[in-house]
Structure 1
Amino acid sequence: MENVNEGLERQRAKRKRVARMKKFIVTTILAFMVLTITVMSVLCYQVLSLKKELRELSKQVYVSTDVADSNEMVDDSVLDDVYKVDDIDNIAEEGDIPKVYLTFDDGPSSNTDKILDILDDYNVKATFFVCGKDLEVYGDAYKRIVEDGHTIGMHSYSHSFGDIYSSGDAFAADYNKIHDLILNTTGVDTKYYRFPGGSSNKVSSTSMSTFINYLNEQGAIYYDWNVASGDATSQAFSSEQLVDNVMKDVVKYKTSVVLLHDASNKNATVEALPGLIEALQEKGAMILPITDETTIIQHVNVVQ
């Protein structure tokens, strides 16, 4: 009888061990499955986040920030090396009086009033290709550009390459938005336009002829530039270097359209402006705002 009881005890103990082992195996498998699902969920979330970031990066190449701005701005520095366009009819000859058009992109900003003050001090008129900004902050700056006798033009509303150049409809919507902002704020029905990145930009996935044709339909004229100060680049030029960058090129042309910027982070441009104006005046240059009489400077002037 005793042997029978011992046998039963051993069987019970064995069954318990087997049950514990099964429970351990099942628990381990379940834990592994939960861990796997958790890891996969995290990875999926990271992949989706990376895709979102890539989409944003595709829209905006470089972002320059202005704490007072509600719009994100794109720096044109990715396109630094595509703006070397010579026009044989515009090459300066001996005895020519150079015509120089100082143009400021990306404003208005906290630097715009400083630039307007300097221009006023020298009695010089320029051209401002503006973007869409908060009117509560910059409404007076739009108005002052016009009231001070400068030319105001369009540089898109959002300056977001990925949005503006995504389609003809997107470009038209953005164009109408910046055109109406300028008209309603200043009373000027401007027809001057500068493409973000220029008409020769390498960012647009849509043929630039689509946008050029649209501007033609609106009776608008787009201006590029043939002299770049370098203030759009990621390289930190000093104010003296910015002046040198301009002066070495304006001597080449009868008409020079100079690319400058009045975004909030362009302090070197503000510092360079007095010296630049004085250097141009010493060369006998006529510093003018863009008008209907201005020689049109375009990188892409044939619709294909």
Structure 2
Amino acid sequence: MKNKLKHIVFILGSTFLIISIFKLNMSAVSATSHIITDKKATSVEKSVSCGKKVYLTFDDGPSCKITNEILDILDKNEVKATFFLIGNKIEGNEDVVKRMYDKGNSIGLHSYTHNFDKIYCNEDAFIQEMIDCRNEINKTIGISPNIIRFPGGSSSRFSEKGIKVIHDNHFKLYDWNLDTTDGFNPRLSPDTLYRKAIKGSEKMYAITLLMHCTDMNENTSKALPKIIEYYKSQGYEFATITEDTPELYSRLRDKK
């Protein structure tokens, strides 16, 4: 009888232990799932709190036909962009510049001549090119922007000293981190330009997209509606570059 009782107690004890272990495991699984869910939530909250942004930027304008087409598309889609202008292209296209400004787009400096030999012969020449461009913009719309984009990009253009000269003249520098390459090859198909405009974007929270708006960039204007549609579908805010925007430029050529 005693042995039978011991056997029953053993079975009950074992059953209780198994049930306890099972409950403990289930609690652990539940806790782990909650942690994973929290991590996913944190990731989503981060993307919202960081404010995923895309800066649509257009270089080498103004032009009459294509810049106006791009402005039409921006208006239709209720988004704004940033235009880095060449000073000697403004005469004769004043109405285009006035329109881009009146519609709330941002305007920056892209040199007066876009002549690399003149622009990059020394720091003083570079500064003068930007000042001359700014003066043309001021004559047209009465503002004097200090946001600039290096023709060809800032990579290896100046030493730390040269960048300091630029900053001492109160200019702020803005390159790009995504490129349609329509400056090198404006004849790329609209679909190719679209694919380049979104390639790798899923890993980026802040995108500065390089495009061009010369009269050779007809395919850029054709690709633009689909580019805008994509970034809207991904939850990006369309922002413009201002003097409050953090600078974006390449490594310095040297430390001299």
Q: Please, what TM-score do these two structures have when normalized by structure 1?
A: 0.64
Q: Which of 69, 87, 91 is the aligned partner of 1:114? A: 69
Structure label with greater radius of gyration:
1
Q: Which of 232, 247, 250 is the aligned partner of 2:198? A: 247
Q: Which of 99, 103, 125 is the aligned partner of 1:148? A: 103
Q: Does 1:264 align with 2:215?
A: yes
CA RMSD of aligned residues (A): 2.0
Q: Which of 159, 168, 172 is the aligned partner of 1:217? A: 168
Partner of 1:130 in structure 2?
Answer: 85
Q: 2:92 aligns to what SS in structure 1?
A: helix
Partner of 2:34 in structure 1?
Answer: none
**2: CA distance, partners of 1:294 / 1:130:** 18
1:280-302, Cα deviation, whole Å (9 max, x unpaired)? 11111111111244333221369
Structural mapping, 1:132-281, within 5 Å: 132-200=87-155, 207-234=158-185, 236-281=187-232
**2: CA distance, partners of 1:267 / 1:130:** 18
Partner of 1:294 in structure 2?
Answer: 245
Asked if the contact 1:255–1:295 (Cα under 8 Å) also holds between the matched residues in 2, the reply is: no
**2: CA distance, partners of 1:135 / 1:227:** 27
Q: 1:134 to 1:263 in 2, by over 3 A?
A: closer
Q: 1:137 aligns to what SS in structure 2?
A: coil
Q: 1:254 to 1:301 in 2, by over 3 A?
A: farther
**2: CA distance, partners of 1:254 / 1:278:** 17
**2: CA distance, partners of 1:105 / 1:299:** 18
Question: How far did 1:210 drift?
Answer: 4.9
Long gaps (5+) in structure 2: 1-41
Q: 1:135 to 1:105 in 2, by over 3 A?
A: closer
Q: 1:108 to 1:275 in 2, by over 3 A?
A: same
Question: How far did 1:198 drift?
Answer: 0.7
**2: CA distance, partners of 1:285 / 1:136:** 35
Q: 1:200 to 1:134 in 2, by over 3 A?
A: closer
Structural mapping, 1:58-69, within 5 Å: none
Code of the aligned partner of 2:88: K
1:137-162, Cα deviation, whole Å (9 max, x unpaired)? 21111111111100000000100101
Partner of 1:103 in structure 2?
Answer: 57
**1: CA distance, partners of 2:169 / 2:179:** 28
**1: CA distance, partners of 2:118 / 2:129:** 9
Q: 1:109 to 1:208 in 2, by over 3 A?
A: farther
Question: How far did 1:237 drift?
Answer: 2.1
**1: CA distance, partners of 2:53 / 2:78:** 16
**1: CA distance, partners of 2:160 / 2:120:** 11
**1: CA distance, partners of 2:90 / 2:248:** 31
1:256-302, Cα deviation, whole Å (9 max, x unpaired)? 10000001101110000111101111111111111244333221369
**2: CA distance, partners of 1:193 / 1:295:** 13
Runs of 4+ with deviation above 6 angstroms: none
Asked if the contact 2:87–2:134 (Cα under 8 Å) also holds between the matched residues in 1, the reply is: no
Q: 1:287 aligns to what SS in structure 2?
A: strand
Q: 1:102 aligns to what SS in structure 2?
A: strand
